[in-house]
Amino acid sequence: MNQVHEKATTEIYNKTDGNIMSPAGFYAGGLHCGIKKKRPDLAWLYSEVPAKAAGIYTTNQFQAAPIRVTKESLEAGHQLQGLIVNSGNANSFTGEQGLHHAYLMREWFASHLGVEKSLIGVSSTGVIGELLPIEKIEAGISNIVPGKNQADFRVFEKAILTTDTFAKRACATVEIDGKTVTIAGAAKGSGMIHPNMATMLAFVTTDAEMEAQTLQLALKQAADETFNMITVDGDTSTNDMVVAMANGMAGNHPLSVAHPDWNRFYQAFAYICETLAKQIARDGEGATKLVEAKVTGARTNEEAGIVSKTIIGSNLVKTAIFGADANWGRIINAIGYSGVKVEPQKLTIKLGDITVVENGMPCFYSEEEAHAYLAGRDEIQILVDLQDGAGEKAAWGCDLTYDYVKINASYRT
């Protein structure tokens, strides 16, 4: 079955101000072990009981060592009980020694928790091509106290960041079988962001009961609608990973696509993924604006997604947004090279509520109002109607600023 849900007409879940520890039985924390100069750089996540687990990973052919190890753990039993994450060093393109280090991180954290090593996932983010200071990580793991009294979701969120300017989190609850199920997530991501995963790590926890296959199905579809619909700079990294864990402690009957409350759960799950994805796009390196390109009237959802991602990925569009220049010709240009067949005479484009093209013809509009819209908001919406079908999809990105160049010109120094 390709589709695991139908879109709800109204929200059937509750957004909360919770965090990755809000689902029952999950604890998280972080500390400074010395990879970075001062900031937290080692994070951990732990479930009281083994949790069904699912993962998706970068499409970059140079997948980093931690991804290989986490895949191995998931393939062993489709379960995880803990994750150990470091920032400041990607442990990528580091050969057999780097792979050995990733295995050591898994082994040390498993031993520290007293669980099988196959129940531990490993994740890393940071500079590519440098070996981990593995002795510092070993010492850091030995200082972890994985209990409720020592848990601190804020330090976990900080310890996974690299060039991010803020922590990313989301939480929601939904009623399943009369039980309150909680879903939450934390993520990092700022630069090297592009559809088909990005330089991002995202971790989703839930106390729902379900099989791993069902969780994997939900994660894959939600990622296609959210994490794979964001772009900052067109680069796809070597370490991108999203891992979801479901420990069943809410006490609901096992969820499946056939469960009567499945759509309720999926909508809440997709909300977590979309919120994290949009926060990553908003925090693009040097960005000042979150930009949404929403395409409707396409022949299929897939074609709508192609057009929306092409618009949001155009450097010319992104720089125009930064300059508050309503240069809709750049949007036309991006649609034209998207590869999707479009009837020009049907095309309508809006910047927010301002129509700039209607039925294939330029519209009269106030340049001053358009400039004010682009300059005066930190969230910009580009609406495109192809008037050729029922397909629709949105993509998210950010403007391209001077600071993006400054940040990436000196990333290692």
Residue 6 — very low, low, confident or very high, per pLDDT cuts 50/70/90? very low
Residue 10 — very low, low, confident or very high, per pLDDT cuts 50/70/90? low
What's the rounded Cα separation, in Å, for the pair 52 and 32? 29
Residue 3 — very low, low, confident or very high, per pLDDT cuts 50/70/90? very low
Is there a contact between 372 and 330 (Cβ–Cβ < 8 Å)? Answer: no
Q: Is 327's pLDDT higher than 60?
A: yes
H helix runs in 245-366, sequence order = 262-282, 301-313, 315-322, 328-336
* Least confident range of 120-124, 347-351, 386-390, 400-404: 400-404
CA 172 remoteness from chain centre: 16
Closest CA relative to residue 81, chosen from 2, 4, 140, 27: 27
DSSP string, 124-156: EEEETT----HHHHHHHHHT---STTT--HHHH
Q: Is 9's pLDDT higher than 50?
A: no
Show which residues are catalytic: 199
Pairing of the two strands 379-385 and 290-298: parallel
Is there a contact between 157 and 235 (Cβ–Cβ < 8 Å)? Answer: no
Q: Is 158's pLDDT higher than 70?
A: yes
What's the rounded Cα separation, in Å, for the pair 50 and 209? 12
Query: Residue 65 phi/psi, 5° resolution?
Result: -55, -45
Name the average pLDDT for the chain: 91
Q: What is the pTM of this model?
A: 0.87
For 166-218, the pLDDT digits (tens) are 999 999 999 999 999 999 999 998 654 444 544 589 999 999 999 999 999 99
Query: Hey, what are 108's tokens?
Result: 């040390």
Cβ-count burial 300-327 (b if 16+ within 10 Å, e if not): ebebbbbbbbbbbbbeebbebbbebebb
Q: Is 8's pLDDT higher than 60?
A: no
HSE value, Cβ hemisphere, 13 Å, CA-based, for 205: 32
Helix or strand or coil: residue 378? coil
Residue 413's pLDDT is what?
57
Closest CA relative to residue 79, chosen from 27, 119, 23: 119
Pairing of the two strands 79-89 and 42-57: antiparallel
What structural domains and CATH numbers belong to the chain? 14-282 (3.60.70.12), 290-409 (3.10.20.340)
Residue 235's pLDDT is what?
53
